[in-house]
Chains A and B, each alone.
Chain A
Amino acid sequence: MLPDDAAAAVPRAASTSFADYLGAHHPGLLPSNRSLGPAPATSDASRLAPHATTIVSLTFPGGVLMAGDRRATMGNVIASRHIEKVFPADRSSVLGIAGSAGIGVDLARLFQVELEHYEKIEATMMSLDGKANRLAAMVRQNLPMAMQGLAVVPLFAGFDADRHLGRLFSFDVTGGRYEEHEHHSVGSGSVFARGALKKLWNPHLTEASAVRVAVEALYDAADDDSATGGPDTVRGLWPVVYVVDAAGTRRVPERELEAVAHTIIDARSSAGREA
Chain B
Amino acid sequence: MTQQFYVSPEQLMKDRADFARKGISRGRSVVVMSCRDGIALVAQNASPSLHKLGEIYDRIAFAAVGKYNEFESLRQAGVRYADVRGYSYAREDVTARGLASVYAQSLGAVFTAESKPFEVELVVAEVGRSQEADHLYRLTFDGSIADEAGFVVMGGAADAVVGGLRDTWSADVGLADGVRAAARALAGAATGTAGDGDRSGTPALDPSVLEVAFLERDPDTLRGSHRAFRRIGGPELEIVLQGGQEN
Contacts and interface: CB of A to CB of B under 8 A. Distances in A.
A165 interface: no
A21 B80 contact: yes
Interface in B81-103: 83-84, 86-88
Interface residues of B, number: 14
Interface SS, B side: helix
A18 to B, nearest CB: 6
B54 A123 contact: yes
B88 A18 contact: no
Nearest to B83: A117
Contact of B49 (A113, A117, A123): A123
Given A120-B55, A123-B54, A109 B76 contact: no
A120 B86 contact: no
Interface size classification for chain A: 10 to 19
A123 B88 contact: no
A6 to B, nearest CB: 11
B84 A22 contact: yes
Interface string B31-55: 0000000000000000001010011
Interface centre among B55, B79, B84, B87, by most chain A C-beta atoms within 10 angstroms, is B87
B56 interface: yes
A117 B86 contact: no
A126 interface: no
Interface string B224-247: 000100000000000000000000
A113 B87 contact: yes
A127 to B, nearest CB: 18
A48 interface: no
A230 to B, nearest CB: 29
A121 B51 contact: no
B83 A113 contact: yes
A116 B225 CA distance: 13
A26 B84 contact: yes
B227 to A, nearest CB: 8
A178 B5 CA distance: 68
Interface in A96-129: 109-110, 113, 116-117, 120-121, 123
A120 B51 contact: no
A23 to B, nearest CB: 12
A29 interface: yes
A109 to B, nearest CB: 7
Interface of B: 49, 51, 54-56, 76, 79-80, 83-84, 86-88, 227
20 contacts: A18-B80, A18-B83, A18-B87, A21-B84, A22-B87, A26-B84, A26-B88, A29-B84, A29-B88, A109-B87, A110-B87, A116-B83, A116-B227, A117-B79, A117-B83, A120-B55, A120-B79, A120-B83, A121-B76, A123-B49
Interface of A: 18, 21-22, 25-26, 29, 109-110, 113, 116-117, 120-121, 123
